Amino acid sequence: MRTLLIFTTLMAAPIPACCAILVDGRLDPEEWREARSITDFRLTQPLSRLPAPQPTQAWVLATPQGLAVSFRNLQDASVPRTRQRTQRDNSEAAVDRVNLYVDFDGDGRGGYNFTLTLADGIVDTTVSNENQFNDDWDGDWHHAVSEDETGWSAEMLIPWHIAPMRDGRDGKRLLGIALDRVIGATGERASWPAVSLTETRFLSVLNKIEVPEYGQSLLTITPYVNGVRDFVGRDSDFDAGADLFWKPNGRFQLSATLNPDFGQVESDRLVVNFGAVETFFDDKRPFFTENQGFFEVPFGSLNPNNRLIYTRRVGGLSDDAIGSGDVAAAVKLNGSAGGVNYGVFAASEADSVGRDFYAVRASRDFLRHGVGAMVTQVKRPFLDREATVYEFDHRWTPNERWAVRSTVVGSSVDERGRRLRDSGAQVRVDYDRGNGWRHQLYALHLGGDLQLNDFGYLERNNYNYLRYDLGRRVTALPPDSPFTAHDWHYSVSHRVNDDGVHIADALAVNRRSERRDGGNQFIEVGTLSPGHDDLITRGNGVVDMPRRVFAVFERFRPRQGDSPWAFNLEMQYDADGLSGWNRGLRSVYLEPSYHINDRLSLFSGMRVEHHPDWTLWRREVGLLGTYRSNQLMLNAGAAWLINDRQELRVRLEAIGLEAQARKAWRVTPDGEPVAVNNPLADFALRNLGFQIRYRYELAPLSYLYVAYVRGGSLLEDGNGFDTRRQFRDAFELRDSEQLLVKLSYRFEI
């Protein structure tokens, strides 16, 4: 393994340049005559690194039009081919597919993943922090597939204007590249180089190849108009805006937007959250996803949602808490100069309650080191508040086994003449021992006055966390085993806040397994020591907590052969209340899906939850309350890919919840919860979200949408609630009912 990684990381064989490639999915030997041929594909799922059982050959060729890649995938007749049509960016489908991973600067800082399925479906994502994938970004690239009796072929052409790139040297550019092929029926993944996406280091160990320093300029303008008919308010509204993208050369890229589209055709999932931690939602607005990876600096925990720039803040809930902010304009620059990558981000909201958001980031890479720095600032005149965050990050890879990443952050907030300053830091050390064994040490400090959420997303501050994780990968399983690989993790952790309050120590064991049916399975069990909860009372004291335990089981099974059925199963037990380990949340979610054919599929998932000891802070009485709760949640829908340009999607979510008050608790100054006789009311919640959406692709990244949306939410206090009635009555909710028509068209100038 050590020799393989050194070879694949340092290799810099040139990739020939040639004439234009006709992307039609049919491999013309003359077109690919000058291309580099790759045949050494090895299994990385399971991660045995043995030669792939199904032969694959790929070709890579640099052309003036872009980076061209083709695959020839032979497949034995005994291995079923999975041709299910998929929506764009559906990365969870167990289908036959090929992947291109490319780092255009070759420094391991950021990259792109282009996926092409046997049914000519695509997924495109950005890759940051070695192996964090984000499919919010959509690029304009060319692709085609063809199929015959012995296998199938795929062609891709990635234009040079798709991403900002640093200057090359002596007319050459060094890229990082990886290729892989996935067989949907078995889940096997064969890769070149033999590096797994799940390993600690992925981007930084892609094969390094040298290509001619081609460049392309691009100027596009994408205006949009939409009209909304509100059936509840009996009103209509029309809006318009535009996105601009300009790349005059490889070193510079500008994105701008006027009155940006807020993605009304994309609905957020329904979430029940009465806790102290804010729910994280992805951003679907095109401007805010375009090459945003350079600004994505994870900080605050191993949870990738924690970050210094959370673009949903721009245009989020306004500072007067009346509606959303009205974004007037925004601009983003990405470029490089003198070996330094840089980025500038600015956005401004209109009206007297509007905010201004700014960010500047720069990074530089050396042989074994990489450094970066960023400054963000948010001006909030309605609150007389200005928040500035300073960040410095360092990456050190002394050899192929060790990787050390560290980040230091400071915040300075001025609000109504009062200034608060604090800092935080994190360090992550990864060591690959070989033979499947890995070690990870992670340490985090977040000061009590560290404030990042004006622009970023941070689950909490006032926190210190130390975690050690031992990983072991097992691939040598017998042929009659239903599994092809196991990935074990054993972790211990320690949590305290900056005031010296012990939150909890934790011990957990989990196993992620790949199965021979192409599916996967996940199991985790763990326990938290007796400790304290310093968040639940929202700043009104620390609560003593008993020992807690948790367990999780997940199983996904894709379609098997000619069977139209697939299913997903999740089970959870989580004792997070005041009554101890034996009165925890019990949750079961089952989602079967039925594929009528390769273009039309239906799914219907139902979650059933029972919590005998749900502990909540009741602000109106200043007490903790424990509740016996039950919840039903439906997640159902259909996807019909009518043809290569048209799709119809239906999605229905409904929630019914009832909570019966059991006991009220007063928290003493030393943290002990003491039962009191204060009465607490029962409460119930019902939610509905329903959408029918039609999409027609007029041209690349140009769409006509017609969407019907209905939804509502109702929270009630009282007595005599019933879960099934709440769930049934959720379908009658009609707080909003709208018909939306949106047209956007991308003009290339």
> What does the pLDDT read at residue 728?
96
pLDDT of residue 16: 58
Is the bond leading into 679 cis (omega within 30 degrees of zero)?
Answer: no
Domain ranges of the chain: 2-216, 240-262+278-459
Instruction: Find, among 39, 40, 36, the residue nearest to 67 by Cα.
Output: 36
Each residue of 576-595: b (16+ CB within 10 Å) or e?
Answer: bbbeeeebbbebebebebbb
Percent of the chain, pLDDT > 70? 97
Phi, psi of 225 (to 5 degrees): -135, 145
Distance between start and end Cα atoms, the chain:
49
Please state which of the ranges 122-136, 421-435, 602-616 shows the lowest mean pLDDT: 122-136
> To 5 degrees, how large is the angle CA 349–CA 351–CA 357?
25
Neighbouring CB atoms inside 10 A of 626's CB total 24
Specify the pLDDT at position 265: 66
pTM of the predicted model over 0.75 = yes
Residue with the two structure tokens 């052409």:
157
Distance CA 413, CA 453 (A): 11
Tell me the pLDDT tens digit for each residue of 147-182.
999 999 999 999 999 888 888 888 899 999 999 999
Q: What is the tens place of the pLDDT at every residue in 366-383?
A: 888 999 999 999 999 999
Cα-based distances in Å from 325 to 296, 314, 315: 22, 7, 4
Q: Give 318's Cβ-side CA count (13 Å radius).
A: 17
Instruction: Determine if residue 51 is left, alpha or beta; phi over 0 gives left, psi from -120 to 50 gives alpha, anything else beta.
Output: beta
Residue 641's alpha-carbon distances to 154, 476, 599, in angstroms, are 21, 40, 5
CB 485 within 8 A of CB 473: yes
| Higher-pLDDT residue of 84, 118 | 118
With contact defined as beta carbons under 8 Å apart, do 178 and 101 qualify?
yes
Taking the C-alpha atoms of residue 668 and residue 626, their distance in angstroms, rounded to an integer, is: 17
Per-residue model confidence as pLDDT tens digits over 293-318: 889 888 999 888 999 999 999 999 99
The pLDDT score that the predictor gives to residue 7 is 36
User: Which token pair is 694?
Assistant: 């039609």
Domain 2-216 has CATH 2.60.40.1190: yes
Contacts of 29 (CB under 8 A, 6+ apart): none
Nearest to 691, CA basis, from 269, 123, 231: 269
Tell me, what's the pLDDT at 4? 38
Q: Mean pLDDT score of the chain, rounded to an integer?
A: 91
418, pLDDT greater than 90: yes
11 pLDDT above the threshold of 70: no
Write down the pLDDT at residue 720.
Answer: 83
Distance CA(127)–CA(37), nearest Å, equals 25
pLDDT, tens digit (0-9, with 9 covering 90-100), for 217-244: 999 999 999 999 999 999 999 999 999 9
Q: What's the chain's length in residues?
A: 749
**pLDDT tens sequence across 451-483:** 999 999 999 999 999 999 999 999 989 989 999
pLDDT tens per residue, range 41-71:
999 999 999 999 999 999 999 999 999 999 9
Higher pLDDT, 150 or 338: 150
Q: Which residues, at least 6 apart from 478, have a Cβ–Cβ distance to it below 8 Å? A: none
Asked if pLDDT for residue 530 goes beyond 80, the answer is yes
pLDDT tens for each residue of 547-581? 999 999 999 999 887 789 999 999 999 999 998 88
Question: Is the torsion defined by CA of 30, 36, 40, 46 positive or negative?
Answer: negative
